[in-house]
Amino acid sequence: MARKYFGTDGVRGVVGEFLTEELVERLGKASTLWVGDDARIFIGRDTRASGPGLEQAFARG
């Protein structure tokens, strides 16, 4: 069975293995391309220690 990384709860994966800041930054860029430069994107996260870094990586994208 193939692994599922995207679902109704967002992007899932082990931080530092699959879920890296580089990947999250690329997802941020892809999101901007999809919705357009003038759109606003809400970034939600939980309180884990990896949250701020991943949030900033997405925003850089």
Q: How far apart are CA 56 and CA 61, in angstroms?
A: 9
pTM: 0.83
Does residue 46 form part of some domain? yes
Q: Report pLDDT for 25.
A: 97
Q: pLDDT digit string (tens) for 14-57?
A: 999 989 999 999 999 999 999 998 899 999 898 999 999 999 99
Q: What's the pLDDT at 8? A: 80
How many whole angstroms separate alpha carbon 39 and alpha carbon 55? 17
What residues have CB less than 8 Å from 5, skipping those under 6 apart?
11, 12, 13, 18
In total, how many domains does the chain have? 1
Query: What local confidence, expressed as pLDDT, does residue 3 receive?
Result: 67
| 32 phi/psi in degrees, rounded to 5 | -65, -40
Establish if 11 belongs to a structural domain. Answer: no
Would residue 1 count as lying in a domain? no
Domain that holds residue 51: 17-60
Position 7 pLDDT exceeds 70: yes
The CA distance from 2 to 50, in Å, is 25
